[in-house]
Homo-oligomer: A and B are copies of this chain.
């Protein structure tokens, strides 16, 4: 089943609202093996809606629309639908009765706009919406299906789950699709590609591999299409295993796992505690770690040692180390790890010191030079990385590498 998604609303095109509906619908459709051919956002213009509908119904089996059904601007989408289907609006008494009951319950009175909302294209099959006043609408058209839903995310989600998806499954029992995602960190897209080149080039025709890079981490996504879901799952799984075996050292998880979540789980599994000592990342590393619910189980805290005196007074970095090697040096991050473990009484610590920019660079240590250290009181692993010239990007990139250094340290300790 091919699906086109159309989201309607001027607020999307001027960037006041990010369209998250399309991505969520894409995920749900993907799970039932439907193929989304395109996701289109257009403004509140009748002619644009009609034209987009015509084109989408021409190229796809199913068109899912969201937006333009509320009590203020609902006439545009419904008018467009009436014009497209060459039909009229009819008043739908059950919907009006329901709205009146709702308002009675809320102790408020409805407006004329709510009554007008109950006029529906005569050929619409109404989909009950328990989350709002506007029902969804299902239309049959030359063996295809068109579904119009409200744009409010939780209303759309309710209708997708309870009405649209079950009806689509019934109307278009289709060919299975299987996805598997491998999450990697520590190596760039092209190097990973080089390491698995032979696997990639001998993939069967029905399985595709995509690289999705993002600041120090790369997701590898396998997508398979086939007729038998069980066979297909086995095929995709076996390709995933082949790739996983080859780049095992880079993999921190599968599916939608986040790096900070995977590291947290590794620490929790080993019943350890962690603290961070941050200079150039300025708290962003601790923020990533504490963005995970339940991180207080293993994360005790952090010292953000932006000033050298904080490195010296709190983290017990020696003045002589700073004088001899500078704040951005292997010796300094080593001492930061040791000092943090002592100070915050944790099993593990990770330290970052670098030049985030735009100022502070020198010919020997240009902006983007970052030293990392991770370890326990017996052993410390260090790494020098070269980030770029963009301050925010440097901070994020350094944090990803710091998390990866903890991962590598823990794996080495396991051996």
Contacts and interface: CB of A to CB of B under 8 A. Distances in A.
A90 interface: no
A97 interface: no
B43 A40 contact: no
Nearest to A360: B296
A231 interface: no
A19 B71 CA distance: 28
Contacts of A12: 22-23, 26, 39
Interface stretch (A168-176, A188-196, A244-252, A405-413): A188-196
A287 B282 contact: yes
Interface stretch (A118-126, A206-214, A370-378): A206-214
B190 A72 contact: yes
Given A291-B282, A293-B391, A13 B26 contact: yes
A76 to B, nearest CB: 11
Contact of A15 (B25, B181, B284): B25
Contacts of A300: 306-307, 309-310
Contact of A113 (B190, B276, B283, B303): B190
Contacts of A113: 189-190, 193-194
B213 A152 contact: yes
Interface in A37-65: 37-44, 48, 52
Contact of A38 (B14, B40, B302, B307): B40
B26 A38 contact: no
A40 B310 CA distance: 51
A41 to B, nearest CB: 4
A354 to B, nearest CB: 12
B193 A73 contact: yes
A393 B152 CA distance: 12
Interface stretch (A78-86, A104-112, A136-144, A330-338): A104-112
B48 A37 contact: yes
A244 to B, nearest CB: 18
Contact of A111 (B191, B284, B344): B191
Choose among A39, A114, A388 the residue with the greatest number of B CB atoms under 10 Å from its CB.
Answer: A39
B73 A392 contact: no
Copies of this protein in the complex = 2
Nearest to A38: B42
A250 B278 CA distance: 33
Determine the main DSSP class of A at the interface with B.
Answer: mixed
B210 A74 contact: yes
A343 B314 contact: yes
Contacts of A307: 296, 300-301, 344
A130 interface: yes
Interface string A358-371: 11000000000000
B286 A282 contact: yes
A11 interface: yes
A242 B27 CA distance: 44
A17 interface: yes
A210 B73 CA distance: 8
Given A302-B283, A358-B293, A390 B131 contact: yes
A386 interface: yes
Given A44-B210, A70-B189, A70-B211, 4 more contacts: A111-B190, A283-B302, A301-B305, A301-B310
17 contacts: A15-B24, A18-B19, A18-B23, A19-B23, A37-B42, A38-B40, A44-B210, A73-B209, A74-B209, A114-B190, A276-B304, A287-B287, A301-B306, A302-B302, A302-B306, A303-B314, A310-B344
